[in-house]
Amino acid sequence: MLYKQWLNEWLELYVNVSTKERTYIKYRQQARKYILPALGDYDVSELTAVELQKFSVSLAERGLSGNTVNGIVSILKSSLKKAVALGIADKQFADSIVRQRQRAGKVTCFCMPEQKKIEKYVLEHNAPNLFGILLSLYTGLRIGELLALRWEDIDLKKGTAAVTKSCHDSWQNGHYIKVFDTTKTQSSERIIPLPKQIVDYMRRIKKQTKSQFVVIGRTAYGAQIRSYQRTFGNLLHKLHIPHKGFHALRHTFATRALEVGMDVKTLSEVLGHKNPMITLQRYAHSLMDHKTAMMNRVGRLLLSPVQ
């Protein structure tokens, strides 16, 4: 069987029924753009270790990021393993692919003066559509989680937010629509305690809006991701703050949380990470000031009198 035949069957029969719609669309796009033009006309049995390694190297040479290359390799692995399991191929060699070495991506966040400029503008203008920026800055919500948040998810008496859904933009019939889905991972479902100051502000916001969504938009389904990203970008431009993506708000929250002494396990649970090690690895740089202070405390023992 030609690999293009099998890959299309695998996408429709296995990926489409077992993953989120967004994942299926991403796999299909990567298959059509990268895999099928290069490997589609090979018979499945002809995809040797050398051919697959050459393909992997060619992706890196095209300037694709390590994450993109690894995602494409994952499609190869999963599809070929299923082909072997079903007897379509005798062997698969995707496991022998040596992946591109990746450097950990640099975490970008706003410095304190930039953060205060953003907060000041949002609070002074009292605009319900901008409130999500402040909420993300003080909870670390991902933009998809933020824009899926309904008032029914908020318990103002207990001061908590239930994160049970996410959303993304999907291109349909010539325009983007808002699609609701489950959270990124199972560990992303969580109850977040809200800072008292945010709860007080939310009470005022709720009185100003009739929308079921915490972050309002131009439709009954609240703000869309691309639209809200533009709103955020325009705000940064207006405040003369160098552009950073919306995700920088999440990184800023995590950095500030560590700076005020929040332990890594608690932060991990608030962020919805699978385990504290992910949090520690991603935000280790944010602990440097704390490490320095602790080392200086140890250093004070030098030449100090014996008690």
CA angle 281, 101, 40 (to 5 degrees): 125
In 21-43, which positions are buried (b, 16+ CB within 10 angstroms) versus exposed (e)?
Answer: ebebbebbebbeebbeeebbebe
Q: Are residues 116 and 92 in the same domain?
A: no
In a domain, 213, yes or no: yes
Task: Describe the strand order of the beta sheet including 160-163 as a list of residue ranges.
Answer: 154-155, 160-163, 190-193
So what's the pLDDT on residue 67?
80
- Mind listing the pLDDT tens digit for each residue in 250-273? 999 999 998 888 999 999 999 999
- 122 and 147 co-located in one domain: yes
Q: Examine the fold and report which residue of 63, 96, 129 is the final residue of a domain before the chain moves on.
A: 96
User: What pTM value is reported for the model?
Assistant: 0.74
pLDDT score, position 284: 78
Do 49 and 128 have their domain in common?
no
Are 75 and 143 within one domain? Answer: no
Residue 181 lies in a domain: yes
Both 249 and 171 in one domain: the answer is yes
Both tokens assigned to 100: 């591109």
CATH number at residue 71: 1.10.150.130
Q: Say if 296 falls within a structural domain.
A: no
Residue 105 DSSP one-character state: P
Residue 102: pLDDT band by 50, 70, 90 thresholds?
Answer: low
Residues 55 and 200 occupy one common structural domain: no
Q: How many domains does the chain have?
A: 2
Q: How confident is the model at residue 105 (pLDDT cuts 50, 70, 90)?
A: low
Are the C-beta atoms of residues 81 and 94 closer than 8 Å to each other? yes
Integer-rounded Cα Rg, in Å, for the chain is 24
In a domain, 126, yes or no: yes
The burial class, CB within 10 Å (0-12 / 13-18 / 19+), for 11 is middle
Q: What percent of the chain has pLDDT over 90?
A: 60
Q: Give the pair of three-digit tokens for residue 178.
A: 């808002």
Q: What is the pLDDT of residues 110-152, one digit of tens each?
A: 999 999 999 999 999 888 889 999 999 999 999 999 999 999 9
Same domain (yes/no): 128, 85: no
CB 67 within 8 A of CB 59: no
Residue 295 belongs to some domain of the structure: no
198 and 239 housed in the same domain: yes
Domain shared by 151 and 195, yes or no: yes
The CATH number of the domain where 132 resides is what?
1.10.443.10
Give the residue from 96, 121, 144 where a domain finishes: 96
Nearest CA-CA partner of 20 in 146, 184, 177: 184
In this predicted structure, the answer to whether residue 104 has a pLDDT above a threshold of 60 is: no
What residue ranges in the chain does DSSP mark as E strands?
A: 154-155, 160-163, 166-172, 175-181, 190-193
pLDDT in the model for residue 234: 96
Task: Give the structural domain span for 35.
Answer: 3-96
Report the pLDDT value the prediction gives residue 288, as an integer from 0 to 100: 76
Count of C-beta atoms within a 10 Å radius of residue 2: 14
Average confidence (pLDDT) over 211-228: 89
139 and 34 in one domain? no
| End-of-domain residue from the set 96, 122, 140 | 96
Same domain? For 11 and 139 the reply is no
Q: Is residue 195 part of a domain?
A: yes
- 101 lies in some domain: no
Task: Give the integer Cα–Cα distance in Å for 281 and 47.
Answer: 36
7 lies in the same domain as 38: yes
